[in-house]
Amino acid sequence: MKISKTPFEGLLIIEPDVFEDQRGYFFESYNEKKYAGEGIQYRFVQDNQSKSVMGTIRGLHYQLGPRAQTKLVRVLSGTIFDVAVDIRQGSPDYGKWFGLEISCKNRKQLLIPKGFAHGFSVLSEKATVFYKCDEFYSPEFDSGIRFDDPNLNIDWQIPSDKYIVSEKDKNLKSFKEARNNFTY
């Protein structure tokens, strides 16, 4: 497996070793021992999966400490633009975002540690997203930031007139107003 660092501390791009032949392909999407050997040591306790149509934006979501979640995101079908926003107060990258196209074809994964808000937009006709979490969902610690916050200025890679966003996500607070207990 290939692990690439991003400009953000702890945010990693993971590309599994893929074995292809005339039958198709095989790869390990997660192997605790191999990840630990690379210094990635999380105990994942919950798997989540969503299916969305083109133009959908989900996010920006996170859970506050002590129930903050590290996420390992991959795409089972289609293509997304995955976004992580550094919300660790005192970080040199505080308030900055990183985006990566992830698809069933490129098989990239994004490891998003605690202290980042997460969201994605769907670039293909449909997309199925799968992610592992190292903490259970806890509604009382659920928080988020508006996807269209002008201070973040995220380019979701789709025209704004094509956005499909849930009412919950439309009503999230701005970056400056959102609940946040992360420090660098």
Residues labelled catalytic: 61, 131
Sheet holding 109-112, edge to edge: 2-5, 12-15, 109-112, 71-77, 126-133, 46-53
The secondary structure of 120-173 as a DSSP string is: EEE-SSEEEEEEEESS---GGGEEEB-TT-TTT----SS-GGG-B--HHHHTPB
In Å, the largest CA–CA distance within the chain is: 53
Answer for the pair 52, 82: CB distance below 8 angstroms, yes or no: no
For residues 21 and 25, give the distance between their C-alpha atoms in angstroms, rounded to a whole number: 6
